[in-house]
Structure 1
């Protein structure tokens, strides 16, 4: 195995045109409008490790996920997988191999499975598309093995998605993602639609599969308890930008960025430690009209005049990466 990270993201950005139709803009004399869904994000993921991205809804986590598997084309920046540019590779014959090596588990198990297909067709489709089986008998055996690897029964191949619970449907989604024997899985909030007890079962399956197969994960979530269970590194996103990137233990034991502290303080204190806590203040600004300078400054208790005019860059600080003037100046 090579020493470089499996996934490298450099200065990744995605801008969406959300303008009204041309005629409306002419009549109402309105300009074009753009949303910077992802704005200059950079990180790496080592082989066999899990990077979790957390943040409030609308911060750009899911857009990053779709950029990493090639569902969106980046406006700027590069996503490299095993040293190759994903956007460039997908346009070549090697793109088929890249599709096989990277897969995605979607958030909603009720929407991501075709209700008219049996489980054998759903899980077997990647195997047929990539020419990984010969004949229907081999296909059925491979599908049964995949279902059993995620805790389902061989008889389930003949059932339809509506015959399963939410947790079982998500296991089918995981089995489908594993069909092509991928190295990298992008998991877009795979447990958020499930009950807490079922979440634990699905997360344990994913951890076991990672150990057995050496999988690399990008795990998208807004649930910090889930992140603490699965992640090796954690990146905190706010309004399209990474504001803190650190090892899991460092981030949970000693959060530096004011926004990270607010997210952690929002978790109920079941141990009654008596530690002073700052609840999350205010709301996420309108992404069509983000604040100047540091986008978090309207909600930040440590903001000063510099924060209002100068946007902080993500920089190394005492072993972590952080974008905060207050931390850099020792005000935090």
Structure 2
């Protein structure tokens, strides 16, 4: 067995969201902290896709930013190809690491510079990393990258506002591919697009993975999309992983009550007569999370232990799950 390309161990990020000092003194309020990511651990094998799913505010995008170094972790570590990314990014290997991992952002309308042409946008990483410097070679490389994502060389002279949302996201993918990365972090890359356009973008990403052996961390709240692209699926709730399993296992035999709740909320297109259950309750306030298992106020299987003792993510019958009800055989 080869070592995984990405290893995340006990990753956490705490944000200080306190009011200004004077306000706290006058109102006699303590400092406030949000545990946006709280002890997340997973691995991604080369050439595979791990999807992180969960409701808005569960910490998925924070994990993405921690992996690429946009946020420093409060604790824990991220290892890329065996090396600690925090140490690498602080040293002389930062440029080489950034070339090997790239990120595709959620909003194609905000992630492209509106004052730059497509040529400038895609050429920037090539020039920044010194991969191509001569103007003619640069044009040829940009044209080749555009062709990879289904656009033409004639689009180089256009500006982002001249494209649709799906075309803009293709430009973002082309820019991310410019440095020939091994690892792509995709932060809800299709959530701002129409369903038909989503399928086009996802198919492009799958084709690129097959041809170039790319490794993906795919972040989404859309389980139908995840079922199409992922090899493994991690379900997050309030900053923690509650279930981690292969795609087939998770969709056919979900264990955690929250995973079951998410899957039950998916519309039944096949019209099998299965009862559709909407997701119950609200995500708790992250400034004041529940004691014990964070999901227990919404869980139909919760007992006294669930409200007092936080479950750890542990191996259980071939998957990893954090649930007392599952490990005790109550569900």
Query: One fold, TM greater than 0.5?
Result: yes
Match of 1:196 in 2: 195
- Preserved CA contact (<8 Å) 2:53 2:222: yes
For 1:269, the equivalent position in structure 2 comes to: 268
1:276 CA drift (Å): 4.2
Deviation at 1:274?
2.9
* Distance (whole Å) between structure 2 residues aligned to residue 294 and residue 253 of structure 1: 24
**What residue in structure 2 maps to residue 183 of structure 1?**
182
What is the CA distance between 1:25 and its match in structure 2? 0.7
Task: Give the deviation of 1:278 after TM superposition.
Answer: 3.7
Please identify, of 300-309 and 270-279, the stretch whose mean Cα deviation from structure 2 is larger.
270-279
Q: What's the secondary structure of 2:90's corresponding residue? A: coil
Match of 2:89 in 1: 90
**Contact 2:267/2:276, CA 8 A, preserved across alignment:** no
Partner Cα separation in structure 2 for residue 291 and residue 91 of structure 1: 37
Can you list the C-alpha shifts for 1:93-151, whole angstroms capped at 9, x where unaligned?
11110000000000000000000000000000000000001211111111010001100
Classify the secondary structure of the residue corresponding to 1:171.
helix
Q: Deviations over 1:29-60 (max 9, x none)?
A: 11100000000000000000000000000000
- Residue in 1 that maps onto 2:20: 21
Alignment of 1:152 with 2:151, yes or no, is: yes
- Give a deviation string over 1:199-257, Cα, whole Å, max 9, x none: 00000000000000000000000000000000000000000000000000000000010
TM-score (norm 1): 0.99
SS at match of 2:273: coil
Q: Which runs of structure 1 show a deviation greater than 4 angstroms over 4 or more consecutive aligned residues?
A: none
Deviations 1:179-218 (A, max 9, x none): 0000000000000000000000000000000000000000
Alpha-carbon distance in structure 1 between the residues aligned to 2:203 and 2:173? 12
Q: How far apart in 2 are the matches of 1:113 and 1:270?
A: 36
Equivalent residue number for residue 304 of structure 2 = 305
What's 2:204 paired with? 205
Rounded to whole Å, the distance in 1 between the matches of 2:24 and 2:13 is: 23
Q: What is the TM-score when the length of structure 2 is the normalising length?
A: 0.99
User: What is the Cα deviation at residue 280 of structure 1?
Assistant: 1.2
Aligned equivalent of 2:231 = 232
Contact 2:268 2:276 in 1 (8 A): no
* C-alpha separation in 2, matches of 1:164 and 1:278: 38
C-alpha separation between the residues in 1 aligned to 2:135 and 2:30?
56
Give the Cα separation in 2 of the matches to 1:176 and 1:82.
Answer: 23
Is 1:5 the equivalent of 2:4?
yes
Q: Distance in 2 between matches of 1:250 and 1:180?
A: 35
Provide the rounded CA distance (Å) in 1 between the counterparts of 2:131 and 2:269: 50
Give the Cα separation in 2 of the matches to 1:282 and 1:255: 20
Between the aligned partners of 1:271 and 1:278, the Cα distance in structure 2 is 16
Q: How many residues align?
A: 331
Unaligned runs of 5+ in 2: none
Q: Are 2:131 and 1:132 aligned?
A: yes
